[in-house]
Structure 1
């Protein structure tokens, strides 16, 4: 059996090693390589790195077992001869590998290699004076099963910007792409191209993405692309070539700080492996490199939005991209699904990383082994190999424990060595923090404190602060309330050590940390006492002189206070705590120095807008909603799609929400249309596959705005679009994972079905709406989310009212009344005046219909009283649409009571109410609606005539 039979499973490129497929040994295959390095250009810019890169890659391929031919600094004739000889010699080989480093340009749909004797005149006869890449690939694949062509030639064009290239005398001149190369026709799929050998595939790699320029390396060094190839092309036996090139791509991406990302075009029909025995040498270095490679593969699998988020944080917080990606990988299954929470977590970790990187304290007589292990841990961390860094810290701790047991008895030596041991535990704790193992970090910091407490109280206090921070994070990320209580105790212990007068910076850090732990614990408690205690503590602390002189610390603590007030306000009736939160956010903004961290300022502005929006929902009028809109628009002047993509999306979505709430209170549609535009703008940047929950949430918000717009339109286009939006959003939500979000979508879907059912005069849509609201109420339980429960109860009642109006009897009407009564138990006038008025209107309409059918004056009396009371909130000035709806139902109730008891006053008041409704809606041009109102007025007039 020949080796080629095994290509059904894999292709092995190996001379120095072997690989097993199932149970049979596979013979090594023959690989040939042509290495072209063009540095010494005579007439255009020389490229010193290109020759160095080619020599290094040539040696690597020789070590891998390739028969390597080197072609440095070749003019056009010599380069063409080298290529011809290589093509001839490659016949019968299993793999042909070409690496080109030098100038390269793209024109007329072809990538051209530039010989060292090229000048501007070469462009007039490119076929003779330059070398086209794709014909070389075409000829090689006729005789070689696998062709790999790597072009490290994506540098800027060396020719003038307006230069044109003519492939030959008969061809038209074509412009030269000034930056980068493009995909080559040499890697087209080979399925329909007959050849004398079994064509397994072609791989063509570019040092940068199409149309992008690659970067040169340092003097006497290698280009980023070549350096990555040298590091990863010799990946240990069993690593697929595709994975190797993925590692190369992400290595360059990290090494160049996102400025360059290689690109590969492959038409392989089999898996391809570079076989080489596992790397020998330093096992510690191999451990770092091994985790580094896994990190690179993980980065490659990240969605684009996730990349942008990490890149933005690394740039704004000025921390190594490698380390930040390493921390993201270390989170694993614990990675927050909510991008806002992930952004907060990564930024917090970035701050910790900056602190660690900034520490330069070195002990005078550090233990050599501890120094070595610590150095390896630092190196691993810089490479993003967080798990390996933890391993080295563990070894350093073991050594520190040994040293601790053998300490000298002299006090001077004892102090020095104890502090050294404390430092080892502290470093281990810092590394555990970056690995998101906060419990282990807290234990290490506690041990560091024990070692340092007697000898260096300032250092010991710092370790205690770090212990408190770790315990707080353990409580935050692991829902561990006991850890939060331990954090509070750790901070209080640090507070007893640190003097406000002597060490104001660390004292302020303790107060802020203690406030954070108390606030987080308060948010977890079902009662409000802990939250109120945290608020009182923060307000007292902010009044102290230390915070008066530390604007950034004060801004941070005020931000914590505002969040606590916001959370408290969500649990209380009225808006007092929410109003206080807005004031604290405004003070926090004034604390920030001019020009300081614009994204931080924008985030506070966004949060202020959210609280203003919450107030606006509870209050009459639109003043707070308008201020919220201004806050979101201001935040959006700082956030942008490139550097802060998620924050930009978040503020865009919030803007849409505030516009919707405002538009609901207006008679026109302009604000609602702006709301729809804001949501669609956010969705254009929200990838559905990568961020399904966030996409579903924003899509649901869009559906709500379309629903509100559809209510004001004659046709059903917007309502149908809303139904599509809600159905699409439901496809992305798992009821078990996000039950309340799922319930909100069911509620919103029911609203659209309700309105469609009301317009179609058919019960089918109304019955579907009832089912949707009942599903929502299975998760929106009163004891969990009372206001949302009340909202769905009101919606269910509205649907049952519509059904009851179409059915004989009062069964559905009485169910509707029960639902409205339930909603009013939570949606009180004090807590939500507008919602209270809406539900009161609905209940009044229901009672009026029951009174009409049962000839029950008590129900009609109660209906009239409720509707008149609702009008004290649903005023024409504040809520015009709510006002007109309440007036309509009041007119109906007065008509029925006037008929039943023969009251001329009721009938006259009914006519006044109906006329005011007609005057309001007549300009809207809805003929059917106007005709209905005119018919009702005629009924009232007939009833009045009957009393004469």
Structure 2
């Protein structure tokens, strides 16, 4: 297993390894984007500005160093393949952004994005002829640091005038008039989004976005203007987009944000974008210039939880000792935790556990870790796994519970948990799991881009049994990254394939 040491030692080790590897693994730090513009609908009303919007936003992102895939007026089959290809590519990227401009509708709480060749006669046809928002989220969800899906849809509902009687004519007994009204109403449903991913709607759920005049929608025009602005943290950038749309539409349309971003600060343009390469969050947030700290305070005063967390990390950083203020960190994390943020709960628990910025209270720390874990925060789940595995003050060792937690964290793609679960399976300590499962976890851990995982597999592969090593080779083969013998020998060919899976460019 990757040694736990202490949680802070683990993070420090990863930071040191990552910094040492920057020169050799620079190719792995990528920015990718998928822009989709659908306008020339064959059987429902066309849209005037969507292709212009997608093209312009793709150009802006390319100018900022993004590798941009474009899907312009693609029919369903081509669009599905483009999304699948992007999904594989995004796994080794730091940042994945998807922008969609086209028709979008809601049916029974599910959001559907409509390809240009859609042709339905009853609501039940829709699921087989459209892309779901869940599919777009899945295509970006494994990017390593930043995941954003932007929907500039619902400019008008192509089924808004669809008579209820047409469902009866189509011979559907499955869908009643209430279902048809759902398809006919305006806007999308509110999405369910995991922490670490942001979904941006051009207009709030249930409301209509304007197509606009002058070649671009109001929302797209605001994005085009704000994306290239230098040295603006992405949270502030989206607030500027919102304000610009409200102003242009005279408050008729307000963009809305769902989910939340975690981790380090992100800048799409400008000198500050290099902070995204840092792993330690206190170092990353503490590296921001004074004007960025002022922007964060402004956002925090408006109730922005991400800004509160950023200020909390900044107050724990020793990059600028004048900012070091553990009591302020405690206050910021407390306020963000009270708003239900699991990352803040986890960080607040660490302060209680160590007595930093507040009195030491291990009982409160454990309660916060449990609450953050219950909310699906992978770091908290993994740390609780170690605490149960080893035992801790006020917590009796329970290895069965520890394995359950490691599995839960691994299934949330926590790199350390995936590696450790593979090791536990290899040792026969996880009931019902086989060497094939261990190989899948090791492959997934490689794809997360944590250098320590690659180093361990290259320098000490024999810590795993031959069956697990063969299973890893089989996973590399299945994903077309390895063409050698599946023999469990981690030689140069397998090592090369592992580095490609990790995201390095290998000659």
TM-score band by shorter chain is: 0.3 to 0.5
Higher-helix-fraction structure: 1
Name which one, 1 or 2, has greater alpha-carbon Rg: 1
